[in-house]
Amino acid sequence: MIRLQKFVNFSFKTNLVANISICIPAYKRTEFLKRLLDSIAIQTYTDYDVIVSDDSPANEVEILCKLFAKKMTLKYYKNTPALGTPENWNQAIQQANGNWIKIMHDDDWFSRKDSLMKFANTIKAAPESGFIFSAYNNVYESTGKAEPVFMDRFRKRRMLENPVTLIAKNVIGPPSVVMHKNNKQHYYDKNVKWVVDMDFYIRFLQTSKPYFVNEALINVGVNKEQVTQYTFGVPEVHLKENFYLLNKVGEKNLRNIIVFDAWWRLIRNFTVRDVNQIRSIGYEGRVPGLIVRMIAFQKRIPKVILQQGIFSKFFMTACYLMNKK
């Protein structure tokens, strides 16, 4: 396939390398993108540039970017044909020259005028860290309700000990809450959509120390058009991608009880009673022996009991201890 790429540098400042490159993968929704760009334009920290990678079929995003180029250093890339998720994210990152990458999805935005300043100050406060993330607000587009999300201390400790525990729960949050060094090495895996952020975080944190800013610096728009919304509970996506991720990180991580418990819940919630069910969703890779034994263990327990939290935890612990070695 022949891929065409249109690049337009709308800004007059062409020779400067910004400290932070704000990378925006865009697609159609200019009302959301305008909200994001408005929040960038008022930031008190100004040593940044903006990279927009556009998958839209029409030119509405390009027109909007031309308007905002009067307020900020902005580079616009048009992808023909569209790259899709997450390659559109990677395209923006690949075009960034800043020392740091601050990816922002087009339906998210900075919650405060000093949000970017807070991120920038952390670079100096924690020079050993190459991965910075903050608390955030989930903002439900249908109601406008904002729900603050802060990191659980227990999960934070476990993540610092072993980033693979993110498989159990993504305590970091969506990519928009993250800023990381621009090392030209880490990109999002195009083979996944549901676990794409966890996979990226695990790989990055195996080489870099994280730092958490305990302030809600980002507003995360929650709407039904998001990939995580329409793929939720779909075994062909959810279950299959978790096997893909487990194979990447290594099945030895099942020895960690937090990872084991995550897989216990995954098998339980999708009511997997036989390995053939896993094959039926199109997964052809290796099924670890421990997962096979977990399925067999759960199969002996009545579903109505297995769905009760306290009993499920008891049986999970028993299964883990029996198979620990």
Here the tokens at position 115 are 């949000």
The answer on 245 and 215 residing in a single domain is no
Q: Select from 229, 262, 291 the last residue of a domain.
A: 229
Query: Of 230, 238, 240, nearest to 287 (Cα)?
Result: 240
Element (H or E) spanning 7, and its range? Answer: strand 4-9
Q: Contact, 200 vs 175, CB < 8 A?
A: yes
The answer on 286 and 202 residing in a single domain is no
The answer on 105 and 164 residing in a single domain is yes
The answer on 202 and 316 residing in a single domain is no
The answer on 250 and 177 residing in a single domain is no
The answer on 99 and 13 residing in a single domain is yes
pLDDT by residue, tens only, the chain of 325 residues: 334 456 566 554 444 567 999 999 999 999 999 999 999 999 999 999 999 999 999 999 999 999 999 999 999 999 999 999 999 999 999 999 999 999 999 999 999 999 999 999 999 999 999 999 999 999 998 899 999 999 988 888 999 999 999 999 999 999 999 999 999 999 999 999 999 999 999 999 999 999 999 999 999 999 876 555 545 668 899 999 999 999 999 999 999 999 999 999 999 999 999 999 999 999 999 999 999 999 999 999 999 999 999 999 999 999 999 998 7
The answer on 28 and 145 residing in a single domain is yes
CATH of residue 218's domain is: 3.90.550.10
User: Count of domains in the chain?
Assistant: 2
Identify any residues that bridge with 135 across adjacent strands, giving them in sequence order.
Answer: 216
The answer on 241 and 225 residing in a single domain is no
Q: Where are the alpha helices (DSSP H) in 4-128?
A: 30-41, 60-68, 87-94, 115-125
Q: Select from 175, 196, 229 the last residue of a domain.
A: 229
The answer on 171 and 318 residing in a single domain is no
CA 107 to chain centre: 14
Peptide bond before residue 210 is cis, with ω within 30 degrees of 0:
no
Q: For residue 241, how many other CB atoms are within 10 A of its CB?
A: 22
Domain, as residue range, for 248: 233-322
The answer on 61 and 200 residing in a single domain is yes
Global pTM reads: 0.91
Dist. CA 89–CA 295, nearest whole Å: 36
Q: Select from 229, 250, 273 the last residue of a domain.
A: 229
The answer on 240 and 210 residing in a single domain is no
The answer on 159 and 67 residing in a single domain is yes
Q: Contact, 192 vs 241, CB < 8 A?
A: yes
